Amino acid sequence: KINGFKTTITHREREIFDDRIFTEDPATLQDLGHRYGISRERVRQVEKGIIIKIKTYFENEIPDFHNLSQHSASGL
């Protein structure tokens, strides 16, 4: 499902997803900002947008995702 999601976002979003969200050693907002010529705040905003998009994608692609996400949020 992750690879399917990655086809729905822009190249820059994919790189931020790979380098910041979906990694064991995330790049800093500053490093990504320098790479793309944008501010740390803008990278943070893009990151937040990616998280919203992936949640929506999973809600549409995975049956009962809403129930699963509620359990993980409650510590189960």
Quote the pTM value: 0.80
19, exposed or middle or buried, with CB in 10 Å at 0-12, 13-18, 19+? middle
Q: What is the pLDDT of residues 42-68, one digit of tens each?
A: 999 999 999 999 999 998 988 877 666
Query: What would the mean pLDDT of 20-49 be, rounded to a whole number?
Result: 97
The residues, ordered by sequence, that sit 6+ positions from 27 with a Cβ below 8 Å of its Cβ are 19, 20
Report how far residue 65's alpha carbon sits from residue 57's, in angstroms, rounded to the nearest whole number.
10
Report how far residue 31's alpha carbon sits from residue 16's, in angstroms, rounded to the nearest whole number.
11
